Amino acid sequence: MSKPALYYATLSPPSRAVLLTAKAIGLDLELRPINLQKGEHLTPEFVKLNPQHTIPTLIDGDATIIDSHAICAYLVEKYGKEQQQLYPKDLVQRANVDARLHLDSGHLFARLRFLYEPILYFGSTDCSIDKIAYIQKCYEILEGFLKEQPYLCGTDLTIADFCAVATVASGNDTAPIDEFKFPKVNAWLKRLAELPYYQELNGDGAEELKAIFKAKLAENRGK
């Protein structure tokens, strides 16, 4: 059987969440890079595959799965062996992971995208304090979840940590995480950064995205 194929970009936080998940379960993916700046996600072929024209998009046999959160859950369920705790079978534990995935999707990533997308793609110069504070509000929520546990859903690492860390690490210079207000979030970031595959699969791409964002903002302001 051929391996699952992933349309992705290392600059894309949700793509990196899938890369972290695949690595954690020891799954080899066929990687198919998509260049968003060149509009490769808007070709008729790609839009036919994924009408939402987003990356990551996974192809597994006849199945096309879109959305990083759905992809991570699918991969652990189908290919995870001793790593099922990444997306637990227990109904209540799984519901908690799902809730945190929705937190990333609906709040963390959505707020980062609200700041980044107009600047990266549409020439905007709006890096307002409101947009930054709106992202930082999410750190309060994360701090709450991490108050008495090392990971977002308890003592075990889950795909919710992968999805959230891919987002948080992609915006934490423009929207800094205050060490005194959010000690648990900072400790959680460091904990995840200790994973042997973290830097290669998330750290480098996050740093590159932050650098491109800053350069683009400066360029737009200079126009």
Ligand X SMILES: N[C@@H](CCC(=O)N[C@@H](CS)C(=O)NCC(=O)O)C(=O)O
User: Catalytic positions, please?
Assistant: 12
User: Is residue 12 part of the contact set for ligand X (CB under 6 A)?
Assistant: yes
Residue type, 70: A
Name the nearest CA neighbour of 146 among 119, 117, 177, 115: 177
User: Is residue 53 part of the contact set for ligand X (CB under 6 A)?
Assistant: yes
Cβ closest to ligand X, residue 73 vs residue 157: 73
Of 20, 55, 75, 164, the residue at the interface with ligand X (CB under 6 A) is 55
Cα–Cα–Cα angle for 149, 139, 194, rounded to 5 degrees: 55
User: Is residue 170 part of the contact set for ligand X (CB under 6 A)?
Assistant: no
d(CA 93, CA 57): 26
User: Is residue 105 part of the contact set for ligand X (CB under 6 A)?
Assistant: yes
User: Is residue 171 part of the contact set for ligand X (CB under 6 A)?
Assistant: no
d(CA 142, CA 3): 35
d(CA 6, CA 15): 9
Of 41, 111, 131, 210, the residue at the interface with ligand X (CB under 6 A) is 41
d(CA 214, CA 222): 12
Residue 123, classified by CB atoms within 10 Å of its CB into exposed (0-12), middle (13-18) or buried (19+), is exposed
User: Is residue 159 part of the contact set for ligand X (CB under 6 A)?
Assistant: no
Cβ closest to ligand X, residue 47 vs residue 187: 47
Q: Which stretch in 7-15, 21-29, 72-80, 145-153 sits in contact with ligand X by CB under 6 A?
A: 7-15
Q: Restricting to residues 60-89, name those near ligand X by CB under 6 A.
A: 67-69
Question: Contact positions toward ligand X, by CB under 6 A?
Answer: 12-14, 36, 41, 53-56, 67-69, 105
